């Protein structure tokens, strides 16, 4: 390697550290990774899976900057099981 080439050493985090930063279920994180909505994990060894800390921090900053629209409340009058009782009595 010449003097102009520098290796950039980036900090990585393991699953338990990721879970402290991002309180989502493992299955949710996996699905988001598959869709490309979350930084991808990579293996350092067959039993050591890590995430790039800088990528996770960038993802968190992007999520803070853009609020997520909330899902609409379900219409409980259209459900088949446990129908809503007593709507006429309230009047």
pLDDT at position 16 is 96
The per-residue DSSP string of 67-83 comes to PPPPPPPP-GGG-SSS-
For residue 74, what pLDDT is reported? 81
Rounded to two decimals, the pTM is 0.67
Residue 42: burial class (beta carbons within 10 Å; 0-12, 13-18, 19+) = exposed
| pLDDT block averages, 10 residues each, the chain of length 91 | 68 96 95 96 95 96 86 80 62 47
């Amino acid at each position: 390697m010449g003097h102009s080439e520098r290796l950039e050493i980036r900090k990585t985090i393991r699953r338990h550290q990721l879970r402290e930063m991002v309180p989502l279920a493992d299955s949710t994180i996996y699905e988001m990774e598959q869709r490309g909505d979350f930084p991808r994990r990579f293996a350092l060894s067959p039993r050591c899976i890590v995430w790039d800390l800088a990528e996770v921090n960038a993802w968190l900053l992007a999520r803070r900057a853009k609020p997520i629209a909330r899902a609409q409340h379900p219409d409980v009058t259209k459900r088949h099981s446990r129908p809503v009782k007593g709507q006429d009595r309230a009047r």
